[in-house]
Amino acid sequence: MSSDVAAAIELCGLCRVLPSGGRMLTILDGIDLTVARGESVAVIGPSGSGKSTLLGLIAGLDRPSGGSVHIHGQRIDTMSEDRLARLRRGRIGFVFQTFQLLGNLTALENVALPLELTGDRRASGGARQLLEAVGLGERTHHYPSQLSGGEQQRVAVARAFSPDPDILLADEPTGNLDSATGRLVLDLLERLRSRMGTTMVLVTHDDEVASRAASRIYLRDGRIVVREAGEGAGQAATAGEGGGHDQPQPAAEAGASPSPVARGAGR
Ligand SMILES: Nc1ncnc2c1ncn2[C@@H]1O[C@H](COP(=O)(O)OP(=O)(O)OP(=O)(O)O)[C@@H](O)[C@H]1O
Ligand SMILES: [Mg+2]
C-alpha cells in the first residue's frame, strides 16, 4: 500500500491481538489514523482501551498483529530491529509515564545519553541547555533519587527532546504530578514542540490536557470511537473507521509543520 509521505504518522488497519487465558484478546481493532507533521494529537480513553499499546506500536517498541505503521512514509512494522532502532534513536522521543530514568546516571548523563547514542560529540553541552530549558540548570549533577517526581518528569521530557526528534510520544506525562507541576510540564512540552516543530502524540486522562492538543481521538475497546479537531482543524489528524485515508491529507500541500519551526520538516 502506498503511504502519505507528507504525514508524520500513518496507521492503517492497525490491530494488536494477544493470547490471554487460552483465548485471543483483541487489544487494538483496526485503527486508521494520519497525523500531519508538526501536529499535536491527544489520545483519550478509559483504562485498558489500548492507548499505551497504540503508542508502543507507533514507536516501534512493539509489532502489530495486522495493519501497517508508516513514519514519514517509511513502513516500520516490517523493518529489521537494527534499522528500527536507528530510526527510533534519531527520530522518535518517548516520555514514559513512570519516567524510566537510569538511576545510576545523573540528570545530565540521562539527557545526554540519546545524543551520545547518535554520536553527537557535543552531547553534554546540548543536554545542559535542555536541562536549563526545563528549569533544572541547578540540578544537572543530581541522580534521579535526589530529584522530586516533577523534576524527574522534566528530566524525562528533556531526554525525550534531546535527539531533536521529529516525533514525540508521551504516555500520560502529567499522570503522576500535581496540577501545577503538570501544567509546567505541559507548557514545557508545548514550548519545545512549537520551537522544534515536533509532531506530538499525547496519551492523557485529563480533559484540560486533551483540550490543548490540535485534535483528539477517543479510544474504546481498541477502536477509535470519536475524533475531534480543535482550532487547528485544517491541520488536524485524520482518523476513523475506514474513512481516514479517503480524507484530504492536510500536510500534503503544506509540506511542513503548521507552527514556526527551527528546522525543515523534510529530513
Ligand atoms: N502483554 C500483554 N498481554 C496481555 N494483555 C495485555 C498486554 N498488554 C496489554 N494488555 C491488555 O491490553 C489492554 C490495553 O492495554 P493498554 O496498556 O494499552 O491500556 P491503556 O488504555 O493504556 O490503559 P491505562 O489507561 O490503564 O494505562 C488491557 O486490557 C491490558 O490488560
Ligand atoms: Mg496506559
Amino acid identity of residue 266, one-letter, is G
The residue to mutate among 15, 52, 171, 176, having the most atoms of ligand 1 within 8 angstroms of its beta carbon, is: 52
Quick one: fold of 7-246?
Answer: Rossmann fold (3.40.50)
In this prediction, residue 197 carries a pLDDT of 87
Q: What residue's CA is closest to ligand 1, atom 13?
A: 48
- DSSP letters, 221-236, are TTEEEEEEE-TTGGG-
**Across residues 190-210, what is the average pLDDT?**
86
110 Cα to the center of ligand 2, angstroms: 23
**Across residues 111-130, what is the average pLDDT?**
86
Q: What is the pTM of this model?
A: 0.82
**Across residues 186-198, what is the average pLDDT?**
83
User: Maximum CA pair distance of the chain?
Assistant: 53
> pLDDT tens digits for 203-255?
998 887 888 888 999 999 999 998 888 654 334 456 544 333 333 333 333 33
Asked if residue 166 has pLDDT above 80, the reply is: yes
Q: Which atom of ligand 1 is nearest to the CA of 172?
A: 27
In this prediction, residue 261 carries a pLDDT of 27
Q: Which of 90-99, 120-129, 199-208, 256-265 shows the lowest mean pLDDT across its residues?
A: 256-265
Q: Which of 73-82, 146-155, 162-171, 205-214 shows the lowest mean pLDDT across its residues?
A: 205-214
130 Cα to the center of ligand 1, angstroms: 32
CA-to-CA distance for 97 and 182, rounded, in angstroms? 12
48 Cα to the center of ligand 1, angstroms: 5
Ranges of each domain in the chain: 7-246
Asked if residue 32 has pLDDT above 50, the reply is: yes
4 Cα to the center of ligand 2, angstroms: 28
